[in-house]
Amino acid sequence: MTKCAICGNQISNDPADPHCDSAEHIFPNAVGGQKSISGFICRKCNSETGDTWDAALATSMQSLGLMFGVQRDRGEMPPLKTVTTEGERITLQAEGGMTLTNPEFKKTQRPDGSMEYNIKARSVDEARRILEGLKKKHPELDVETALADATAVEKYPEGDFHFAFQFGGPEGGRSMVKTCLAFAFSVLAGTSATRRRLTSAI
Ligand SMILES: [Zn+2]
C-alpha cells in the first residue's frame, strides 16, 4: 500500500474508492504522453489535475502539438481556430489538415439589379444547406443545378500562421513539476524513502 503523492491518502485497489490507484501518464496525455505509471497518484487527484494543471499546459502547447502532429494516447488534439497574416480564418485539424473556420458568403448586386452570390462551403452538405436557405428568399433558385456547377478546390492559405507560446503559469507549472516527479518515481521504483521525498516536494 502506498500513498498518493498529491493528497497523501492511501492508494487503494477498491474501484469504488475515489483514492483508488490510477494510471497516470508521465507526460500528460493531453500533450502526447504515452507511458503511464501506477501507484503514484490516486484516481481523484489524477482526474482533478488532468482537468486543471494538465489542461492548462495542454492549452499553452496546443498550436505546437498540431503543427508537429503530436498523437495522443487517448483522443485527439482539439482543432485550433486561427487567423493568418492575410486575414484568412482557418481551423487546424488534428490529422494535419486545415479547413475554413466558417463558410464564406458574398452577395453582390449586378448592374441589372439581379443578385450574385458567391459561396465557399466546407462540404457539399454544407453548400446544400446554404443553398436551401437561400431558396427561401429566391424560390427560382435550382439547388441541384447550383451544386452541379460548384467546384471543389484545394488550396494553401495565402498568409502565414502566427503563434504565441507561453509556458508555465501557476497551473501549467504544477503539471510540469508533476511530470518530473512521475518520471523520477518511475525510474526509482518508488521506494518508501523516495515516496516521502516526492510527497513533500509536491
Ligand atoms: Zn490523491
What is the Å distance from ligand 1's center to 43 Cα?
Answer: 7
Return the pLDDT at 1: 60
CA of 73 to the centre of ligand 1 (A): 22
CA–CA–CA angle 65, 66, 68 (5° rounding): 70
For the stretch 83-121, pLDDT in tens is: 999 999 999 988 888 899 999 989 999 999 888 999 999
Percent of the chain with pLDDT over 90: 63
Task: Give the chain's mean pLDDT.
Answer: 88
**Neighbour count for residue 65 (Cβ, 10 Å):** 20
CA 49 – ligand 1 centroid, Å: 10
What confidence score (pLDDT) does residue 96 get?
A: 80
Q: Where are the domains of the chain?
A: 2-76+162-201, 102-149
Question: What is the Å distance from ligand 1's center to 192 Cα?
Answer: 17
Please give the model's pTM, rounded to 2 decimal places.
0.71
- Phi, psi values for residue 25, rounded to 5°: -70, 135
Q: Which residues surround ligand 1, an ion (CB under 5 A)?
A: 4, 6-7, 42, 45
Distance in Å, CA 60 to ligand 1 centroid? 25
| CA 33 and chain centroid, separation | 14
What is the four-CA torsion angle of 136, 141, 145, 146, rounded to 10 degrees? -70
Measured CA to CA, the distance from residue 148 to residue 1 in angstroms comes to: 68
pLDDT band at 128 (very low <50, low <70, confident <90, very high): very high
The letter for the amino acid at 198 is: L
